[in-house]
């Protein structure tokens, strides 16, 4: 065992013991009768994925220590939206450590446009730009073994009928799939809410995303179901997930209002996670949200919240 790993285990043991001994955290009595405080470090039923650096008050700022801490807390996945923008050596450090621990890396952003129309346009320069972006994403996937790449298709065009925009989006995604499909990389399209966070974006709802994926009709084009966004946009979460399940490739979560950890808002995440588990979902659930409290207390509360919601009966 190398000195860095030995030092990390010592630190993790101390911080883990501090978390578990805090009566306001894992010993709060909110678990089912079959659970014990020591359950806090066993693997979760689902692959909840903290962002790299999410628990820095406990793990420190090193990206490898961040991964190790999450593993020791029972998480078996991580995500990093900005993974594609990291230096190649850091990408490899992350990928190698996660592979060593048997952890899954969630989607990285390969293309996200928020300021102007892009995929909704039938223009050669748009297709050329997209193909080049996809080639960059494929190189990251080949280097690291990443499986999913997230896309935000840009804004809608006020001068063009929505049906034409939909057809153009489908065509452009087929060009993207031509590039990524041979590598095994899957694109996941994320519908985002227009009411609070992202007014003016083309892709906003699950039925819309489902129709586009069925139109593209390629195994490399799926949906990223963001439960936070879709509760705001349309609600009816479990029936909509059921209807779109064949096209869902990855999942994000966060509660609303506030976009903090589960248990802080109106979404019954215990039931949502139970449904996802019942579908034999093998992918990741990215914890793309903030914390209701700051510092170590906030980080511990996030872990506790996931333990509460993961305590559904199977």
* Catalytic residue positions, numbered: 190, 288
Q: Is 77 helix (H, G, I), strand (E, B) or coil?
A: strand
Tokens coding 139: 């190189």
Task: List, in sequence order, the alpha helices (H) in 102-123.
Answer: none
* Nearest-angstrom CA–CA distance, 8 and 195: 44
One-letter-per-residue 3-state SS of 125-156: HHHHHHHHHHHHHHHHHHHHCCCEEEEEEEEC
Q: Report whether 83 contacts 115 (CB < 8 A).
A: no
* Nearest-angstrom CA–CA distance, 95 and 32: 35
| Those residues with Cβ within 8 angstroms of residue 286's Cβ, 6 or more apart along the chain or in another chain | 49, 51, 79, 106, 107, 250, 251, 252, 253
* Nearest-angstrom CA–CA distance, 10 and 292: 28
CA distances for 257 relative to 267, 286, 305, angstroms:
9, 18, 16
| DSSP one-letter code for 69 | H
* Nearest-angstrom CA–CA distance, 120 and 233: 21
């Amino acid at each position: 065992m190398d000195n860095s790993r030995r030092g990390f285990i010592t630190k993790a043991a101390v911080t883990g013991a501090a978390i578990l001994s805090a009566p306001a955290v894992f010993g709060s009595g909110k678990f089912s009768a079959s659970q014990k405080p020591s359950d806090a470090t066993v693997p979760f039923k689902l692959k909840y994925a903290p962002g790299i650096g999410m628990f820095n008050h406990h793990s420190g700022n090193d990206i490898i220590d961040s991964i190790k801490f999450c593993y020791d807390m029972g998480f078996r996945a991580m995500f990093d939206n900005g993974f594609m923008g990291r230096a190649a050596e850091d990408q490899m450090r992350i990928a190698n450590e996660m592979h060593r621990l048997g952890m899954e890396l969630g989607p990285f952003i390969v293309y996200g446009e928020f300021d102007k129309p892009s995929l909704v346009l039938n223009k050669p320069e748009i297709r050329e730009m997209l193909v080049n972006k996809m080639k960059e994403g494929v190189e990251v996937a080949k280097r690291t073994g990443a499986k999913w790449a997230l896309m935000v298709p840009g804004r809608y065009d006020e001068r063009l009928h929505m049906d034409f925009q939909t057809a153009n989006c489908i065509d452009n995604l087929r060009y993207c799939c031509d590039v990524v499909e041979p590598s095994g990389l899957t694109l996941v399209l994320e519908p985002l809410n227009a009411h609070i966070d992202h007014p003016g974006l083309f892709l906003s709802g699950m039925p819309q995303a489902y129709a586009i994926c069925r139109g593209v009709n390629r195994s490399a084009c799926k949906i990223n179901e963001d439960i936070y966004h879709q509760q705001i946009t349309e609600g009816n979460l479990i029936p909509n997930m059921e209807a779109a399940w064949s096209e869902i490739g990855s999942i994000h979560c966060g509660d609303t209002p506030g976009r903090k950890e589960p248990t802080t808002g109106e979404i019954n995440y215990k039931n949502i996670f139970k449904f996802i588990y019942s579908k034999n979902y093998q992918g990741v659930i990215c914890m793309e949200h903030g914390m209701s409290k700051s510092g170590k207390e906030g980080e511990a509360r996030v872990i506790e919240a996931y333990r509460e919601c993961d305590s559904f009966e199977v």
